[in-house]
Amino acid sequence: MSPNQPGQMPKMPIPGVKNLIAVGSGKGGVGKTTVSVNLAVGLASLGYKSGLMDADVYGPNVPLMMGINRTPMAFGERIQPIEQFGVKLMSMGFLNPGDKPLVWRGPMLHSVIQQFLRGVDWGELDYLVIDLPPGTGDVQLSLIQTAPITGAIIVTTPSDVSLEDARKAIFMFHQVKVPILGMVENMSFLMCPHCKERIDVFSYGGGRRTAEQMDVHFLAELPLDPAVRIGGDSGRPIVLRKDEGEPFLALAKNVAARAEEAAKEEGPKIEISD
Amino acid sequence: MSPNQPGQMPKMPIPGVKNLIAVGSGKGGVGKTTVSVNLAVGLASLGYKSGLMDADVYGPNVPLMMGINRTPMAFGERIQPIEQFGVKLMSMGFLNPGDKPLVWRGPMLHSVIQQFLRGVDWGELDYLVIDLPPGTGDVQLSLIQTAPITGAIIVTTPSDVSLEDARKAIFMFHQVKVPILGMVENMSFLMCPHCKERIDVFSYGGGRRTAEQMDVHFLAELPLDPAVRIGGDSGRPIVLRKDEGEPFLALAKNVAARAEEAAKEEGPKIEISD
């Protein structure tokens, strides 16, 4: 085999970072950031060294969901990530707090993503979770073309509209040869807090079905639980809560296991010893 | 006053189209396309000549939500919109059906948006509803800079995360001097189909509160009703249903009234007689 085939093109590793996990979705508003935040905090709870890079420059919701309203420090040209709940964080929301929108053109996006990947002192990390913007646009391409992503997670709801877009996202990762660690069905069902009956608000089961059809691992179904949204709005991710957080902690375990498998499947890698 | 101040720059009208209504959101997945589709169909039900342009090139969900799986015809260089439920439609989803994603760079986006605006035979329309992609990116800029938008509608859910992004969208429209017709709170509440008790899944009332704070008209609160999602997934918008469609029909009336006001506020316009 030629060492230059597309899937094997060398991409600059991020020094100290063992696994890069990209969390994407075809459609926005399916809970991609909720999954990213709870995954990163969950991995930290499990004892892994964990980081979270908010690459959703258009709507960086990570600061709100992690309860942060301060700005990171820079030493020389290096930005120091902010640490919260054991997770190292970087987000455009730290640099542009408040309500003013940033209107980005493609080339500016590329440069800010590179800054986030390589200009931040991530230190030693087992996992750097990257919260992608929804869809299949410039940011996704920039990241995928320049960073050695261990694997991607696709978040969807069970609605047909969301699944349609999730399939597009899967195709995009296939095209650019990024392994897919699996699919998460979010907002799978709601338990009525009054009568405890189950409500399938956005339908149910389409995530698992689509994963099977597309030969992608199915990672988790996560409930549509008002406590999840309250966790996000109040800056205290639900994975930190004992019972309600359980599905998210299980997801983190599952992702860690899948990432290990993906690393093995990739075969021997060139390691740079310290 | 100089005729060249930024808010007054002449923008090429779309011949035959009286009002251009842009539907935007800060965050994805808040129901922007659901609102666009039901608004366009609702306006048609009210007797207006209505069109819907799906500018969400990354995740064009309009074809699925309108139940269309055919391709538009072109006569010469002009594309004929597809008509459904009395609404003239154009969407990237017609030209790229299936699951393959289109990965767009900025300049390509600009050109496809211009094609949709000016290369489609919209004919005589009272309202052309434009379903924007979520956020504040290239497509929004391209449209706003080149088309005389009558006014924008901002869709949000009541969650703090969505409201944070909605404020950004409002600022963006303010900056580029596009009048805001109003704000819609979607997924306001859910009535449990089992016990009929009310569940505030994504919180409640933040849309109205934010609209008041930002001096923006509040247009509607729309329920989180599984029937809305079923309408979308099955290609038959809920506004066509007698009782459940009522809040969406009321929204269409409200928007028409607001657009008339906005046209008056703008003062006399240059009209080209046929």
Query: What does residue B260 show for φ and ψ, rounded to 5 degrees?
Result: -60, -45
Look at residue A74 and give its three-state secondary structure.
strand
**CB under 8 Å to A203, separation ≥6 — which residues?**
A158, A159, A160, B229, B233
Interface touch A28/B26, C-beta < 8 Å: no
Nearest CB among B59, B140, B193 relative to A27 is that of B59
Separation in Å, CA A216 to CA A213, A251, B86, B100? 8, 15, 40, 16
pLDDT at A210: 97
Distance CA B253, CA B264 (A): 17
Distance CA B140, CA B34 (A): 18
pLDDT at A101: 73
Q: How big is chain A, counted in residues? A: 274
Say how many C-beta atoms besides its own lie within 10 A of residue A45's C-beta: 20
Interface touch B161/A233, C-beta < 8 Å: yes
Q: Looking at this protein, which amino acid is placed at residue A202?
A: F
Cβ neighbours of B171 in A, within 8 Å: 99-101
H/E run at residue A21: strand A17-24
Tokens of A115: 């800054």
Interface touch A171/B100, C-beta < 8 Å: yes
pLDDT at B5: 42
Mutate: best of B103, B197, B202, B238, partner A, most A CBs <10 A: B103
B8 has pLDDT over 70: no
Q: Which of B198, B213, B193, B176 is nearest to B8 (CA)?
A: B176
Q: Which of A36, A67, A69, A65 is nearest to A51 (CA)?
A: A36
Interface touch B138/A106, C-beta < 8 Å: yes
B69 has pLDDT over 70: yes
For the entire predicted model, the pTM comes to: 0.89
Cα first-last separation, chain A: 30
- pLDDT digit string (tens) for chain A, length 274 residues: 333 344 444 688 999 999 999 999 988 889 999 999 999 999 999 999 999 999 988 788 999 999 998 899 988 888 999 999 999 999 989 987 777 777 666 677 788 889 999 999 999 999 999 999 887 777 888 888 889 999 999 999 999 999 999 999 999 999 889 999 999 999 999 999 999 999 999 999 999 999 999 999 999 999 999 999 999 999 999 999 999 999 999 999 999 999 999 888 765 555 555 5
Rg (CA), chain B: 18
Min CA distance, A108 vs chain B (Å)? 11
Nearest CB among A30, A99, A195 relative to B29 is that of A30
Nearest CB among B65, B134, B233 relative to A28 is that of B134
Strand arrangement of the beta sheet that strand B82-84 belongs to: B82-84, B87-91, B50-54, B125-131, B17-24, B151-156, B180-185, B218-221
pLDDT at B1: 37
Concatenating the DSSP letter of every residue in B122-171 gives --SEEEEEEEPPSSSSHHHHHHHHHS---EEEEEE-SSHHHHHHHHHHHH
Min CA distance, B108 vs chain A (Å)? 11
